[in-house]
C-alpha cells in the first residue's frame, strides 16, 4: 500500500463488517504491506499444530486470531468512546498526530 494506515498496534478498535461485526478489541499486530490487522478475540480460526518438544509446543487444534482488513475496523475514540474516523492534524509545535474526526481528541501517543 502506498499510503500509511491510520490503525496502529495497541489501538482499541470495533469490527464493522464480517462474522465478528460489533466486537471491540485491541489491535495485536498490523501488516502494512497487506493492509491487514489482527484484533484480540476477533476472527478466531482453528489451526492444526504439530508438537515440537524443543519449543514446548503441544500438538493439537489451536484457536487463534486471524487477520482482518483495515477497512473492516474502526478506531474507538478514548474521548467520546465511540467508533470514529481518524483525522491527521498538526500541533502548535509542528508534530503530526492522529485525532478523532468526531470530537477532535488525540488518539494514542
- Quick one: pLDDT at residue 108? 73
| Segment (H or E) for 13 | strand 12-15
Average pLDDT estimate for 25-29 = 96
- Quick one: pLDDT at residue 2? 64
pLDDT at residue 77 tops 90: yes
pLDDT at residue 1 tops 60: no
pLDDT at residue 5 tops 60: yes
Average pLDDT estimate for 50-67 = 92
Domains plus CATH for the chain? Answer: 12-51+60-100 (2.30.30.30)
pLDDT at residue 8 tops 60: yes
CA-based R_g, the chain, Å: 17
Q: Give how far Cα 49 sits from Cα of 54, 84, 89, Å.
A: 14, 38, 45
Burial of 47 (0-12, 13-18, 19+ CB in 10 A): exposed
pTM: 0.85
Banded pLDDT at 84 (limits 50, 70, 90):
very high
CA distance 71 to 77: 17
C-alpha closest to that of 72 among 7, 9, 28: 7
Buried b (16+ CB within 10 A) or exposed e, 82-109: ebbebeeeeeeeeeeebbbeeeeeebee
Average pLDDT of the chain to the nearest whole number: 92
pLDDT at residue 109 tops 70: no
Amino acid at each position: 500500500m502506498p499510503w500509511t494506515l491510520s490503525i496502529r498496534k495497541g489501538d482499541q478498535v470495533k469490527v464493522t463488517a464480517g462474522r465478528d461485526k460489533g466486537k471491540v478489541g485491541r489491535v495485536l499486530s498490523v501488516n502494512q504491506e497487506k493492509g491487514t490487522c489482527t484484533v484480540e478475540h476477533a476472527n478466531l480460526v482453528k489451526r492444526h499444530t504439530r508438537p515440537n518438544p524443543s519449543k514446548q509446543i503441544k500438538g493439537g487444534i489451536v484457536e487463534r486470531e486471524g487477520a482482518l482488513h483495515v477497512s473492516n475496523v474502526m478506531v474507538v475514540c478514548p474521548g467520546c468512546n465511540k467508533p470514529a474516523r481518524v483525522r491527521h492534524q498538526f500541533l502548535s509545535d509542528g508534530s503530526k498526530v492522529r485525532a478523532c474526526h468526531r470530537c477532535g481528541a488525540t488518539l494514542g501517543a
